[in-house]
């Protein structure tokens, strides 16, 4: 595009084999617990269930896979990641990304983009190289 920044809509979905880098997630933590809201027994029960089932680790792997695929410097917002990580709630995607940030696998790129849904500036995340 002659040196211009690419639009998110110029991208295609990543191949399915890159969406499951579960080994990377396993190397950096032994089934890290899903986060729960403090003081909420129902939130703690749900987090424990997601941890036991491995669903939290699976979502983390999918989020990491998408961010690794798009590590061309642009990065993605949580909303953009959610377009590729289907079949789970947006809050689960954000929670998984937060866990990846805490473990040093994902970082704030320093860039912000306007959210098409809220119209607010949101963080652009990228995979740590």
Taking domain 17-32+39-127, whether its CATH number is 1.10.10 is answered by yes
pLDDT, residue 20, reads: 42
> What residues does each domain of the chain span?
17-32+39-127
Q: pLDDT 10s digit of each residue in the chain, 129 long?
A: 455 555 555 555 554 444 345 455 555 444 455 655 567 766 666 656 666 556 777 888 889 889 988 766 689 999 999 998 888 899 889 989 998 998 888 999 999 999 988 999 999 999 886
Which of 97, 73, 75, 74 minimizes the C-alpha distance to 85?
Answer: 97
pLDDT, residue 79, reads: 94
Please tell me the pTM assigned to this model: 0.65
């Amino acid at each position: 595009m002659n040196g211009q920044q690419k639009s998110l809509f110029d991208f295609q979905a990543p191949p399915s084999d890159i969406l499951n880098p579960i080994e990377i997630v396993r190397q950096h933590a032994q089934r890290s617990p899903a986060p729960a809201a403090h003081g909420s027994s129902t939130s703690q029960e749900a987090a424990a269930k997601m941890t036991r089932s491995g669903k939290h680790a699976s979502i983390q792997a999918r989020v990491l896979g998408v961010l690794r695929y798009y590590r061309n410097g642009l990065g993605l917002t949580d909303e953009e990641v959610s377009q590729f990580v289907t079949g789970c709630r947006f809050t689960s995607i954000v929670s998984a990304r937060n866990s990846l940030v805490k473990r040093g696998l994902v970082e704030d790129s320093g860039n912000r983009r306007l959210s098409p849904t809220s119209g607010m500036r949101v963080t652009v995340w990228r995979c740590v190289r």
